[in-house]
Amino acid sequence: MPALVVVGAQWGDEGKGKATDQLGSQVDYVVKFNGGNNAGHTVVIDGEKYALHLLPSGILSPGVTPVIGNGVVIDIEVLYQELDALESRGVDTSKLLISGSAHVIPSYNRAMDKVTERFLGKRRIGTTGRGIGPTYSDKINRVGIRVWDLFDEKILRAKVEGALEQKNHLLVKVYNRREVLVEEIVQELLALAERLRPMVHDTALVLNKALDEGKTVLFEGGQATMLDIDHGTYPFVTSSNATSGGVCTGSGVGPTRINRVIGVIKAYTTRVGEGPFPTELFDEMGIHLQKTGGEFGVTTGRARRCGWYDAVVARYASRVNGLTDLVLTKLDVLTGIEEIPVCVAYDVDGVRYDEMPTDQSAYHHAKPIYEYFPGWTEDIYGVQKFEDLPKNAQAYVLALEGISGCRISSIGTGPGREHTIVRHELVD
């Protein structure tokens, strides 16, 4: 019955796709439970690069059944584009299961996302512009469109009418945009319905039965702890629960069934979009990390902001997710740096904080308190054994383990499946 969870421990792009892919041969199902095509996961197999957005990374493992759970928001056109692109590269996508209770991103919500950001001006979030926030808002406001609705034209029309009633007032009177016509949206969605139908299932039932039968299920988080709507740096967050709690609501699998929660964390930190980031670097070292780490977004192509490892964030992620293991990625990127600073606590207006301040004003004032670790110059790209790392790299990893609230079970030394050091097996 093992169910394991992979979540991001920082602000996203930690390497969750690679971590999930690596476990692919040991699991039966890989389930996406939150977010949508705001995610961008890169997986490198035998030197070939795959970029996944809406599909779970497990789709690249032949034995795996990929599942899109009820907590995901689906842009159906993007889904088809992604499926077609993978099929054309010889990936079998026929096993994909989609929850009928997942919400659909209608085209008007992509427009809403962009227009809202424009109106926020200086207060903008820096969203991916994929309609994620407006679609989750509709879900909570109870005017969302779910996958099931696409198969009943009458219900679909009534729901689109309901959703657009308020939205058109906003679009026309506040945002100065043209009115969205109900019929246009209904036809747009109906045209997409047929291909979807065979993929749609009661995925909560499928997953619970699979666990009853002793199958292994892996839940793959999109975004990350610090972008979680409840536990992240609100309001500079995404609109879903990206922490392990989101697994249960986003899939219909209860917490008692989960036995491993794996947090993926970079050996330094990055963030895309706006919002506080205490260890951010504004100097040449930031540019060095960006270049060496290839820190450019998979979804929007934006340059990622870069900074040092933040152990306060790591401890917080360990706590709010109940992490059992950390997967440390991109250690190879730090090669050649003479002395590596690690943030161990914050100074907030003269007061030391060892734990994450939950008050937004305090967090915006947080200054990192650093400890410094000696670097290494030996090339560690592709190293597969901990003992083969230079002593200083070993000491850096052990130091991070000591202050991050969780054991480090695996270490990434390159983007490929094989560029990994395994210290503790992640699947029992």
Chain residues in the site for Mg ion (CB under 5 A): 13, 40
Give 57 or 208: the residue with its C-beta nearer to ligand GDP. 57
Give 36 or 100: the residue with its C-beta nearer to ligand IMO. 36
Mark the segment that binds ligand GDP (CB under 6 A) among 13-21, 161-169, 189-197, 355-363: 13-21
Which residue is listed with tokens 């929660």? 261
Assess contact for 131 and 117: CB atoms under 8 A.
no
CB of 320 to Mg ion, least distance (A): 20
Residues contributing to the site for ligand IMO (CB under 6 A): 8, 12-13, 38-41, 125-128, 130, 132-133, 222-224, 227, 238-239, 272-273
Mark the segment that binds ligand GDP (CB under 6 A) among 29-37, 38-46, 176-184, 351-359: 38-46
Interacting partner of 24 out of ligand GDP, ligand IMO, Mg ion, none (Cβ under 5 to 8 A depending on kind): none
Within 13 A of 166's CA, how many CA atoms are on the CB side? Answer: 12
Give the x-and-dash track for 283-302 against ligand GDP (CB under 6 A).
-----------x---x----
Assess contact for 217 and 211: CB atoms under 8 A.
yes
Assess contact for 31 and 220: CB atoms under 8 A.
yes
Position among 32, 67, 412, 421 found at the interface with ligand GDP (CB under 6 A): 412
Mark the segment that binds ligand GDP (CB under 6 A) among 23-31, 34-42, 188-196, 235-243: 34-42
CB of 129 to ligand IMO, least distance (A): 7
Omega of the bond prior to 415 within 30 degrees of 0, cis? no
Task: For residue 284, give the H/E element and its range.
Answer: helix 284-292
Q: How far is the C-alpha of 426 from the C-alpha of 428, rounded, in Å?
A: 6
User: Among 260, 268, 271, which residue's Cα sits nearest to residue 407?
Assistant: 260
Q: Which residue is nearest to ligand GDP (CB)?
A: 412
Give 38 or 216: the residue with its C-beta nearer to Mg ion. 38
Quickly list DSSP for 200-261.
EE-HHHHHHHHHHTT--EEEE-SS-GGG-TTTSSTTSS-SS--STHHHHHHHS--GGGEEEE
Assess contact for 427 and 23: CB atoms under 8 A.
yes
Asked if 24 interacts with ligand GDP (CB under 6 A), we say no
Asked if 329 interacts with ligand GDP (CB under 6 A), we say yes
Asked if 130 interacts with ligand GDP (CB under 6 A), we say no
Interacting partner of 286 out of Mg ion, ligand IMO, ligand GDP, none (Cβ under 5 to 8 A depending on kind): none
Asked if 415 interacts with ligand GDP (CB under 6 A), we say yes
Q: How far is the C-alpha of 172 from the C-alpha of 188, rounded, in Å?
A: 21
User: Among 356, 354, 352, 390, which residue's Cα sits nearest to residue 373?
Assistant: 390
Residues that bind ligand GDP (CB under 6 A): 8, 12-18, 40-42, 44, 294, 298, 329-330, 332-333, 412-415, 419
